[in-house]
């Protein structure tokens, strides 16, 4: 399969041969969505945590006797209803990142995304960059010059 090859320095149009194994997949939107959700889920650290009743330091001595005071029963000052006590139903740390996606599934989702871009005639390959791009403005001008607005950039060593 021929794919258009873009170059930063020159304006001449070239093509490159790409394997059909990568670009001829039947597009699975659910797979792509699950990988995108996984990526967005792992974007932020999300480490908010509050202390539970068992994590508060302090005495576990009963505040008032269980019977005879006429008031409600209380255990210790560590209970969530008291100032300085634990938090009931608060965030418990990094429990957002439980969802796991295998490497093979991630690669397959990337292949499906490339297939979709190729199907829409929006797949372009950037040739080896000889000079280092020091300014974002330079690369932005290159994207505007080639009329590339909705782009996916995949960098490989």
Regions of the chain where pLDDT drops below 70? 11, 94-98, 130, 154-157
pLDDT tens-digit profile of 69-108? 888 988 899 999 999 999 999 888 766 666 789 999 999 9
pLDDT of res. 156: 63
pLDDT of res. 111: 92
C-alpha 154/C-alpha 91 separation (Å) is: 35
pTM over 0.85: no
C-alpha 84/C-alpha 43 separation (Å) is: 33
C-alpha 65/C-alpha 67 separation (Å) is: 6
């Amino acid at each position: 399969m021929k794919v258009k090859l873009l170059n930063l320095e020159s304006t001449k149009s070239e093509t490159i041969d790409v394997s059909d194994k990568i670009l001829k997949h039947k597009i699975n939107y659910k797979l792509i969505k699950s990988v995108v959700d996984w990526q967005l889920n792992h974007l932020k650290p999300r480490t908010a945590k509050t202390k539970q009743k068992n994590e508060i330091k302090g005495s576990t001595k009963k505040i008032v006797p269980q019977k005879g005071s006429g008031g409600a029963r209380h255990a210790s000052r560590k209970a969530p209803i008291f100032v300085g006590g634990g938090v009931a139903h608060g965030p418990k740390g990094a429990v957002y990142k439980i969802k796991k996606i295998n490497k093979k599934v991630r690669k397959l989702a990337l292949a499906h995304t490339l297939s979709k871009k190729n199907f829409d005639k929006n797949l372009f390959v950037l040739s080896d960059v000889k000079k280092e791009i020091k300014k974002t403005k330079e690369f932005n001008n290159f994207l505007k010059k080639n009329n590339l607005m909705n782009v996916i950039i995949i960098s490989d060593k």
